[in-house]
Amino acid sequence: MVKCKICNVEFVTDKSFHGHLKSHQLRMVEYYQTHEPRHDLLTGELINFKNKDYYFSNDFNNKNSMKKWLSQQTAEGQKEYLKKLLSQRKQKHNLIYAPTEVELRSITSPPVPYYHKLFLDYYDICNSLGYKIKYAYPKEALKYKIKDGFSIYIDTREQMPLVIDYPTEIKGLKFGDYAINDPNNKCYIERKSISDFIGTMSGGYERFCREIERSIAAEANLIVLIERPLQECLSFQHLDYVSKKIKVTPEFVFFNVRELIQKYTNVQFLFVDGREECVRVMKRIFFSNGEYKKYDLQLMYDLKLL
C-alpha cells in the first residue's frame, strides 16, 4: 500500500498513486522531493529524481560525490556503508548472485576491485551477505592458446561482420553471431554496436530473452560483446554518434541488463573499446579451453587480464 502524505488516501500500486498526484497538481519529482526528501550524503543537495526506484536507491547524485564521500571515511566506515549497500540491494531487488562488474558500474557504487581491495575478497563478503557466487576473482590473465584446424562461424544474418584474422565460415546460427566449430566449445558471441545494444535492451528485450532461452536449451554460453566501452554506454544520451531519436535512458537500458545477468547464469555482457578489440577478446575467449566461464569477463577486461 502507498499512502499519500498530503491527503492520507491509500493506493494499492505506485501507478495509481502517481496518477492521483495530478489531483494535487504535483509532478512526482515535486511530491517526493517535498514530502520524502533525500539528500546527497556529501553535498546535502536533494537527490535528483529520475524515477522512484532511482530516488530511493541512491545516496549520492553522482559517482564523483560518492568517491569523495568514501575517501573521507575510515576503512571501517567504508566497509559498513558498502556492506549495507550490497545487503539492501539484495533485499530490495531480490538478487541471487554476487553483483558483477557491469552491475556495480551501472549503479552508484564502486566497481568490484574497490570492494576486493577494501574487504580483501569481494566474493567472500558477498557470500557472507547471502549471495551465491558465480565467478572466481581473477589473479592472472585469461589463459588461451590459438589452435589451427578450426574456423569461426559467422551468422548469415550478421550485417556488419568483424574482420577476423582467423579462418571463418558463414553459417546460420540459432543464437549469437559468432561461434567456433569445435564441438566441445559451446560459446556463442552476440556482437552489438551501441545502437544495436540500446535497441535490444529496450524494444527488442523480449525477443532477446527468447534467444537466451534457445541458448539455454542448447546448453550454450552466450556473451554479449558490445563494440564500445562501458563508460560510453552508460552515458549514451550525450554521444553525438547515437541518434537523438532514441528516447530510452541509460538507466532503463542497464536496469534490463542487470535483470538478465541475474536471471540467466549463462549470459555475460562485455563492453570493449572498438571492433578490433572485439576480435582480440573473441579469439582469447574461444581458445581459452572453457576457462572464460570461471570469470566475470568485464572485470577481467577492466583489470587488463583479458
Per residue in 155-188, pLDDT (tens digit) is 999 989 999 999 999 999 999 999 999 988 999 9
Please name the amino acid found at residue 213: E
Please name the amino acid found at residue 171: K
pLDDT at residue number 247: 82
pLDDT at residue number 243: 65
Q: What is the pLDDT along the chain (306 residues), one digit of tens a residue?
A: 899 999 999 999 999 999 999 999 999 999 999 999 999 999 999 999 988 988 999 999 999 999 999 999 999 999 999 999 999 999 999 999 999 999 999 999 999 999 999 999 999 999 999 999 999 999 999 999 999 999 999 999 998 999 999 999 999 999 999 999 998 899 999 999 999 999 999 999 999 999 999 999 999 999 999 999 999 999 988 777 676 777 889 999 999 999 999 999 999 999 999 999 999 999 999 999 999 999 999 999 999 999
d(CA 254, CA 201): 8
Residue linked to cell 556482437: 191
Closest to 284 (Cα-Cα) out of 171, 143, 102, 183: 143
Q: Which residues contact 85 (CB under 8 A, 6 or more apart)?
A: 109
pLDDT at residue number 236: 87
Strands 168-171 and 152-155: parallel
Q: Which three cell numbers stand for residue 226?
A: 558490445
pLDDT at residue number 183: 85
Return the H-helix or E-strand segment holding 268.
strand 267-271
d(CA 129, CA 46): 30
d(CA 183, CA 241): 39
Return the H-helix or E-strand segment holding 168.
strand 168-171
pLDDT at residue number 34: 94
pLDDT at residue number 296: 98
Q: Which residues contact 168 (CB under 8 A, 6 or more apart)?
A: 151, 152, 153, 154, 161
d(CA 237, CA 241): 10
User: The CATH number of 152-302 is which of 3.10.20.30, 3.90.78.10, 3.40.50.10130, 3.30.9.30?
Assistant: 3.40.50.10130
Helix axes 205-217, 250-263, angle to 10 degrees: 20
Beta bridge partners of 10: 3
Q: Give the count of beta carbons closer than 10 Å to the beta carbon of residue 264.
A: 15
Residue ranges per structural domain of the chain: 2-57, 73-128, 152-302
